[in-house]
């Protein structure tokens, strides 16, 4: 049986953050679809899309995030996620080395398309960061997801 080793999120500007299983309280990904695109040159592209995500990250996951060179000073992951609703992908890495990548549901919140209107975050009193990316689940009641 394969077990989850880590969960990686990628932001719109290609920065990212890694969370290990010890950092994760809860993950739920629903309405997953697969797509295949074949170009005229014969290249095959396979993608998976996730309609709704509920992700609860424990305080241990709040580390400095990976940032691009020449950007502002480094931020902690929770601060970065709460300031910018722009998670684009989630990668699940298993202990056998296999990686599954998912595009998250996205609806532009700004004209330049840098923020996702469907992404909501909340820092609970116990320090857990709750992230909901969905057009059907509510940030106030993510346990229903």
What pLDDT does 112 receive?
81
Q: For each of the chain's 145 residues, which pLDDT tens digit applies?
A: 789 999 999 998 888 899 999 999 999 999 999 999 899 999 998 889 999 999 999 999 998 876 655 666 777 899 999 999 999 999 999 999 999 999 999 999 888 878 999 999 999 999 999 999 999 888 776 554 4
Give CA–CA dist 84/121, Å, rounded: 10
Strands 44-57 and 24-38: antiparallel
117 Rama sector, left if φ>0, alpha if ψ -120 to 50, beta otherwise: alpha
Q: By residue range, what is the domain housing residue 64? A: 4-144
Number of domains in the chain: 1
Please state the pTM of the whole predicted model: 0.86
> Which stretches of the chain are DSSP H helices?
77-83
33 Rama sector, left if φ>0, alpha if ψ -120 to 50, beta otherwise: beta
What pLDDT does 67 receive?
61
115 token code pair: 């923020």
What pLDDT does 145 receive?
47
In sequence order, which residues have a C-beta less than 8 Å from that of residue 75 and are 6 or more positions away?
A: 64, 65, 67, 83
Exposed, middle or buried: residue 7 (CB in 10 Å: 0-12, 13-18, 19+)?
A: buried
Which residue is listed with tokens 């931020």?
A: 75
Residue 105 dihedral angles phi and psi, to the nearest 5°: -60, 135
**Cα 95 to the center of its chain, rounded Å:** 19
């Amino acid at each position: 049986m394969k077990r989850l080793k880590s969960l990686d999120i990628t932001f719109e500007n290609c920065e990212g953050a890694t969370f290990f299983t010890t950092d994760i309280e809860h993950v739920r990904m629903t309405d997953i679809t697969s797509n295949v695109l074949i170009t005229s040159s014969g290249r095959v592209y396979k993608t998976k899309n996730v309609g709704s995500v509920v992700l609860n990250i424990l305080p241990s996951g709040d580390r400095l995030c990976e940032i691009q060179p020449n950007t502002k000073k480094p931020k902690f992951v929770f601060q970065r996620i709460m300031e910018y609703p722009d998670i684009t992908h989630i990668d699940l890495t298993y202990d056998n080395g296999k990686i599954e990548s998912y595009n998250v549901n996205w609806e532009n919140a700004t004209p330049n398309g840098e923020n996702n209107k469907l992404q909501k975050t909340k820092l609970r009193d116990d320090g857990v960061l709750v992230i909901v990316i969905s057009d059907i689940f509510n940030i106030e009641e993510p346990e229903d997801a």
